[in-house]
Amino acid sequence: MLEDVLQRLRVGLAGTPYEGKVYLVGGYVRDKLLKRRLPSDVDLVLEGDALQLAQFLYERGLADHPPVTYPRFGTAMVHLGEIAVELVTARAESYHDASRKPATVKPATLYEDALRRDFTVNTLLENLHTGAIVDPLGVGLSDLQARRLRTPRDPHETFYEDPLRMLRAVRFAVQLDFTLDPVAVQAIREQAERLKIVSIERIQAEFTRLMDSPPAAAGLQMLLEVGLLAQFAEPLLPMVGCTQNDYHLYDVWEHSLQTVQHIDPIGLTIPAWELRLAALLHDVGKPTTRTVGEDGTIHFYEHDRVGAEIARAWLRTLRYSNETNKRITTLVRLHMRPGFYTPQWRDAAVRRLIRDAGDLLEPLLRLVEADIQAQRHDVIHADIAALRQRIAQVQATQPATHWRSPLTGEQIMQRFGLKPSPLVGQLKRYLEEQVIGGTLHPDDTEHAVRLAEAYLQQMQTPSG
């Protein structure tokens, strides 16, 4: 589809003053030369007015809508079908100390435009009509071939202007398997604190892109080493150096990275980055709960519950959606349960796991499998494959849709004269537990009433 859009642009601009003067730039050119999967959008640059070109595309019927323009920055956005096309006037920029947004923007040459970009491998151009590759700085192609990531200018200047580029440097290095220039690494270490002028939404978006890539663990370690992680992920830092028992090969941080590395997200209904984030956070509660017994044994009592609370607060700070936050914290909270599985589990215990995990059951099992792989292999662990078989057997015997209270909340209120309150939900959950435990049939309302009466009476009887 992307190539179809580019061909439409070539044909639409042929014979116009724009022919031969418009260039593809950025990720499309880089990834095409690297024979990587191409992006789903495209950037075009020209020595001329990009806003006029965007309007021209619309008037010619090539763009689906009037251009969205940003006159201050000399950019415009249009869509051709499902493909977003950003048009950029070749420009030079200057910045204020307290903002990553340009203070002044002026038209410039392609060479000057390349100097303002983040990395040399992103300065390469492809002429839209001729297909010729243009290397404005004369170093982009050689850096691409050497798999070297460096900035067009002194990295201190490039990163100072836009500190988000420091996060992008880490992401590109691990995603592309490039070596980050040592001078750039040092510049990041020296300017890491400047990341704090970047909006948390921008940081979150860049961090999510990193977590969405298979080598995310390597990126996380690099973020730690250069000092960027401390700028937006302080709750993770106590994991570094937090030692564990002998059945672990690593401290909590290293174990968490190994778990991230072993995650298999293929075929799941949740995004890969969410499951990797859950893997990163699954033991975040361990430093807070760490105790050492008289015999030297290390314990992390309730680290799953505490970790879920730490994760919830941090994800909220990063402005992740409530849905994402709930999925990740649920996985963190439940990650210990499957690891305790033995063939002696009653069906009721399996049903409770299925119920509590809900749509996250398979992601939870994948998380636990990765957690086990990140531990010593000469120690006996739960057989998750056997647990999967047991789950299938239980589900086949009685679908989860049958694990419900015979009485609705409204029926409970009517039968016992209750008003809407937490007690109604408590009663309903109690009856559901009896169904899951096999002592109550989901359609047996009479027995449910008797059980609820006994439960209420027990609650109202003074203890002692």
CB under 8 Å to 122, separation ≥6 — which residues?
A: 25, 26, 27, 30, 140
Q: The tokens of 368 are what? A: 């636990």
CATH 3.30.460.10 occupies which residues in the chain? 1-146
- Going by C-alpha positions, the residue among 166, 171, 165, 161 that lies closest to residue 220 is 171
End-to-end CA, the chain: 74
Q: The tokens of 33 are what? A: 């030369």
Reported as type and span, the H/E element at residue 58 is: helix 50-59
Are the CB atoms for 447 and 440 separated by under 8 Å? yes
Q: Please give the Cα distance from 126 to 98 (Å, whole number).
A: 34
Q: Please give the Cα distance from 339 to 77 (Å, whole number).
A: 50
- Whole-model pTM: value is 0.88
Q: The tokens of 417 are what? A: 């004269």
- What is the structure's pLDDT at 407? 84
* Radius of gyration from C-alpha coordinates of the chain: 28
Question: What is the mean pLDDT for each group of 10 consecutive residues in the chain (464 residues)?
Answer: 92 94 96 93 93 94 92 91 93 66 74 95 97 97 98 96 97 97 98 96 98 97 98 98 87 97 96 98 97 90 97 98 98 96 92 92 97 86 93 86 80 85 84 81 83 81 60
Are the CB atoms for 279 and 370 separated by under 8 Å? yes
- What is the structure's pLDDT at 102? 61
Q: Which CATH fold would you assign to the domain 1-146?
A: Beta Polymerase; domain 2 (3.30.460)
N residues, the chain: 464
- What is the structure's pLDDT at 447? 84
Q: Please give the Cα distance from 135 to 30 (Å, whole number).
A: 11
- What is the structure's pLDDT at 272? 98
Percent of the chain with pLDDT over 70: 96
